[in-house]
Chains A and B, each alone.
Chain A
Amino acid sequence: MFEAILLTVITAATPLVVAALGELVTERAGVLNLGVEGMMIMGAVCAFAAAQLTGSPYIGIVAGIAGGALFSLLFGFLTLTLVTNQVATGLALTILGLGLSGQLGEAFVGKPGIKLPQIVFPYLSEIPFFGRVLFSQDLIFYLSIALIIGINWFLFKSRTGLKIRAIGDNHGSAHALGINVIRTRYLAVMFGGACAGLAGAQLSLVYTPQWVENMSAGRGWIALALVVFASWRPWRVLAGGYLFGAVTIGQLHAQAFGIGVPSQFLSALPYAATIVVLIIISHNRRTTLINTPASLGKPFVPDR
């Protein structure tokens, strides 16, 4: 029983963690991409379509990543090359993504999906209590853990990571030091898009293996809130993501048991929890100011 609940919590948390990690890198480079929801749903539809057409869920994953990354390029071109307002452009990306995915996915509505198989590690998965939960999961879960470790190392221990953080904190100085701000930001945006696409692939290949319009259901926005919650630190994304996963699954179980509260109120819990968490994190202005990348959302035109 406990094991089963933990498994579903992980499945619900993984897309949030993956999408939030991508957005974390983008925001560390000083770009606020509010289009996570749009990139995620594009990833979901691309992954589902590719898996259907080829019969392989792994090709689906690749297609999801590629779909999210390509779609984010649109955002990158507008905000980085044409210096448009990042908030508005991110919204545009979400609106377009929801529309486009609905149209692309129309042929796939109601088709039975292909579920991503589990990869079972021999011996490790037999460890009592947490072995089965941690070592007989699908590829995307393992990727999410690898991403956390990788990004944590990359951002805080590698040279490029230092450059990214420098750009995010002061793009003017970074430019003066000879760092190519625009190119680095393009890569950061595309990385965010790829992660959102992977998160989308998880939704349509693992979480509910089918295509339903608007199936991301606000998860992209929750991922954005998670980045704030995590104060731009990768490990805290993991904690926050699993907290939200637990809330989501908890309310589903409560609905199944019928505890006398209308199901709509329970369904609203993850969204309400997001608001509460944001209040708790943001109410201290000083810590928010210290943690937020200082150039976040600000336009940059290199002076020549």
Chain B
Amino acid sequence: MRIELQRRPKVSKLFSVLSPLMALVLTLIAGVIMFGLMGIDPIKAMDVYFVEPLTDIWSLHELAVKAAPLILIGVGLSICYRSNNWNIGAEGQFTIGAITGSILPVLYPNWHSWAILPLMMVMGAVGGALYAAIPALLKARFNTNEILTSLMLVYIAGLFLDWLVRGPWRDPKGYNFPVTTSFQPEAVLPEIISSGRAHWGFVFAIVAAVALWFMMRFMLKGFEVSVLGQSERAGRFAGFSGRRMIWFAMLLSGALAGLAGISEVSGSIGHLQPSISPGYGFTAIIVAFLGRLNPLGIIASGLVLALTYLGGEAAQLSIGISDKVSRVFQGLLLFFVLSCDTLIHYRIRLIFSGRPTTEGKS
């Protein structure tokens, strides 16, 4: 049996909508098989994983807490990927944003003013953008592969944070634990409503997604992003600069990742510690693709991926399976999304005869 692709004359609208849903269904089927192989009742596991977290107020709040960084980073990455800039170092920009955003509460713990929170958010976004400026500069100026440089910077950022919280920024009253002092109340991102933990980071995420959707849909800049992404040559004829686009896309995605970092630390953790992210920066890559690089789609896909984190925690507690299963789910999901996206541009034909089709056919 062979698989043959036939280019569709037009991009399939139907499959553009259907492909993420198909990918989700396939992932669930793979999950059932996986749990079956592990000797766990698949129905119960699926229920614990994907249904129970949606049934009470508390966990819905948790869902928003986890979705906020995923959506914020994901929409930034979508602009990057649309413009053919492959920033995969969002995890590092998230970390640096968390650090620069925490400068004020860590160094001035006794500064009690409403101004501290907006300043922290701005500093976080600026920090993330500056960190993304490194691969941007290297790509624009030295032609260096941004995939490799941005990824190397993730490791460096993680080590830098580790040094900070174990060294100069360690809380002297913290019993030698590698944490900074807890932020003063004015530096904590407030909850949206009083019924749970969901903080304003989720609002930032929705605002960013809608704003970028608007940009991509109605503004010249959005057009520039897609033209340069599809063909830099065509973009140059239209008077767009690929080099400027590198800067725009990388700084934007870096700033959003940095904002996500400081929102997470300020809204959800309350201090800096060696590990502040369960891989949000990498999971956001999956979020971006599952949302088909469309900012509004990314809101939905961010919630879906947030559910895999929550389900993983729930499953660990109630049926004792390791939370590593969620990483497997996330990886599988990305595979299925990419495969299903093929259907948008191609018709897939299965050919059962052993012989290749003759040339005269087409």
The chain A residues found within 8 Å of chain B, CB to CB, are: 34, 74, 78, 81-85, 87-89, 91-92, 95-100, 102-103, 106, 217-218, 221, 224-225, 228, 262, 264-265, 267-268, 271-272, 274-275, 278-279, 282-283, 285, 288, 301, 303-304
Cross-chain contact A288 with B143 (CB below 8 angstroms): yes
Cross-chain contact B145 with A228 (CB below 8 angstroms): yes
Chain B: residues with Cβ within 8 Å of the partner, total of 53
The chain B residues found within 8 Å of chain A, CB to CB, are: 3-5, 7, 81, 86, 88, 138, 142-145, 147-149, 151-153, 155-156, 159-160, 162-163, 166-167, 282, 285-286, 289, 322, 324-332, 334-335, 338-339, 341-342, 346, 348, 356-357, 359, 361-362
Give Cα A285–Cα B334 distance, bound, in whole angstroms: 33
Cross-chain contact B145 with A278 (CB below 8 angstroms): yes
Residue in contact with B145 in the complex, picked from A84, A97, A217, A282, CB distance below 8 Å: A282
Cross-chain contact A303 with B362 (CB below 8 angstroms): yes
Instruction: Tell which of A95, A103, A267, A301 has the most Cβ of chain B within 10 Å.
Output: A95
Residue in contact with B148 in the complex, picked from A100, A106, A228, A267, CB distance below 8 Å: A228
Chain B residues near A103: list those with CB within 8 A: 322, 324-325, 327-328
CB contact under 8 A between A275 and B153, given known A95-B282, A264-B162, A282-B143: yes
Cross-chain contact A225 with B155 (CB below 8 angstroms): no
Chain B residues near A99: list those with CB within 8 A: 324, 326-331
Chain B residues near A87: list those with CB within 8 A: 86, 147
Report the minimum CB–CB distance from B212 to chain A (whole Å).
Answer: 20
Chain A residues near B155: list those with CB within 8 A: 217-218, 268, 271
Cross-chain contact B143 with A218 (CB below 8 angstroms): no
Chain A residues near B81: list those with CB within 8 A: 88
Cross-chain contact B342 with A264 (CB below 8 angstroms): no
Cross-chain contact A274 with B148 (CB below 8 angstroms): yes
Give Cα A278–Cα B143 distance, bound, in whole angstroms: 9
Give Cα A225–Cα B285 distance, bound, in whole angstroms: 21
Chain B residues near A224: list those with CB within 8 A: 148
Give Cα A282–Cα B3 distance, bound, in whole angstroms: 38
Chain B residues near A225: list those with CB within 8 A: 145, 148, 152
Chain A residues near B166: list those with CB within 8 A: 264
Give Cα A103–Cα B138 distance, bound, in whole angstroms: 37
CB contact under 8 A between A88 and B289, given known A264-B160, A264-B162, A271-B156: yes
Chain B residues near A283: list those with CB within 8 A: 142-144
Look across to chain A and name the residue whose beta carbon is closest to the beta carbon of B156: A268
Report the minimum CB–CB distance from A178 to chain B (whole Å).
Answer: 12
Report the minimum CB–CB distance from A252 to chain B (whole Å).
Answer: 14
Give Cα A185–Cα B339 distance, bound, in whole angstroms: 18
CB contact under 8 A between A279 and B324, given known A87-B86, A92-B338: no
Report the minimum CB–CB distance from B324 to chain A (whole Å).
Answer: 4
Look across to chain A and name the residue whose beta carbon is closest to the beta carbon of B157: A268
CB contact under 8 A between A95 and B334, given known A88-B289, A265-B159: yes
A–B pairs, 9, beta carbons within 8 Å: A78-B339, A84-B339, A99-B328, A100-B327, A103-B324, A264-B163, A271-B153, A283-B144, A303-B362
CB contact under 8 A between A97 and B331, given known A84-B342, A262-B167: yes
Instruction: Tell which of A34, A88, A106 has the most Cβ of chain B within 10 Å.
Output: A88
Cross-chain contact A92 with B334 (CB below 8 angstroms): yes
Cross-chain contact B327 with A95 (CB below 8 angstroms): yes
Chain B residues near A102: list those with CB within 8 A: 322, 324, 327
Residue in contact with B338 in the complex, picked from A84, A285, A301, CB distance below 8 Å: A84
CB contact under 8 A between A96 and B328, given known A272-B152, A272-B156: yes
Give Cα A271–Cα B152 distance, bound, in whole angstroms: 5
Those 7 A-B pairs whose CB atoms lie nearest each other, nearest first: A96-B331, A99-B327, A264-B163, A92-B334, A102-B324, A264-B159, A283-B142
Report the minimum CB–CB distance from A216 to chain B (whole Å).
Answer: 12
Cross-chain contact B147 with A34 (CB below 8 angstroms): yes
Report the minimum CB–CB distance from A17 to chain B (whole Å).
Answer: 17
Chain B residues near A97: list those with CB within 8 A: 331
Cross-chain contact A98 with B5 (CB below 8 angstroms): no
Give Cα A303–Cα B326 distance, bound, in whole angstroms: 40
Give Cα A81–Cα B327 distance, bound, in whole angstroms: 25
Chain A residues near B160: list those with CB within 8 A: 264, 268
Report the minimum CB–CB distance from B37 to chain A (whole Å).
Answer: 11
Chain B residues near A304: list those with CB within 8 A: 4, 356-357, 359, 361-362
CB contact under 8 A between A96 and B163, given known A279-B138, A282-B144: no
Give Cα A87–Cα B146 distance, bound, in whole angstroms: 12
Give Cα A228–Cα B144 distance, bound, in whole angstroms: 10
Look across to chain A and name the residue whose beta carbon is closest to the beta carbon of B2: A81
Cross-chain contact A262 with B362 (CB below 8 angstroms): no
Chain B residues near A85: list those with CB within 8 A: 338
Give Cα A221–Cα B329 distance, bound, in whole angstroms: 23
Give Cα A271–Cα B331 distance, bound, in whole angstroms: 25
Give Cα A159–Cα B308 distance, bound, in whole angstroms: 49
Report the minimum CB–CB distance from A271 to chain B (whole Å).
Answer: 4
Residue in contact with A82 in the complex, picked from B327, B339, B357, CB distance below 8 Å: B339
Give Cα A87–Cα B325 distance, bound, in whole angstroms: 24
Chain B residues near A272: list those with CB within 8 A: 152, 156
Report the minimum CB–CB distance from A49 to chain B (whole Å).
Answer: 15
Cross-chain contact A301 with B147 (CB below 8 angstroms): no
Give Cα A301–Cα B347 distance, bound, in whole angstroms: 12
Report the minimum CB–CB distance from A93 to chain B (whole Å).
Answer: 8
Cross-chain contact B331 with A278 (CB below 8 angstroms): no
Report the minimum CB–CB distance from A30 to chain B (whole Å).
Answer: 16
